[in-house]
Amino acid sequence: MTDSNKPPLAVFDLDNTLADTAHRQRFLERKPRDWDAFFAAAPQDPPLEEGVAMARESAGECEVVYLTGRPERCRRDTLDWLAAHGLPEGRLYMRRNDDRRPARRTKLTVLRDLARTREIRVLVDDDELVCEDAERAGFTVVRARWTAPSAALKAAQEREGRT
């Protein structure tokens, strides 16, 4: 049962939704993929104005929360990045460091948990598989299509369960 006394949630992905990961894609294009370097470079991600504007606008009516496939070990860098770019304060849901399930599985689990007690107004995400599964589950989705798709990132999200 949802709590109607609390504002609805607007759920935002980070990578390629709010943060431009293009400068660090090179770490995923080599074999083996260099995950440590990929995540270490995240604090230098430029913000994606379309996503940032949407998050700020959503904060007027909703509680903003962040749902990322980044591992928990990136929490401090991620919180610092959100604050440095003036994004609304909000809870940050991250993948356990040892969780290698596809992003669409991990994110849908969190969405369903949140929906038990809160209305979810919207999910904003760039991952087509996450978006499709969320829509099938009844969630309203905005596809973040303001960056060029990355085959390496898609493989990381779906097959390797890394982001």
Torsion of CA 136, 54, 149, 45, to 10 degrees: -130
For 64-115, the pLDDT digits (tens) are: 999 999 999 999 999 999 999 999 999 999 998 888 878 888 899 999 999 9
Quick one: DSSP state of residue 7? P
Q: Can you name the residues that pair with 65 across neighbouring β-strands?
A: 11
pTM score above 0.75: yes
What interhelical angle do 103-115 and 128-136 show, nearest 10? 40
Between CA 134 and CA 47 the distance in angstroms is 24
For 24-66, the pLDDT digits (tens) are: 989 988 889 898 999 999 999 999 999 999 999 999 999 999 9
Between CA 119 and CA 19 the distance in angstroms is 25
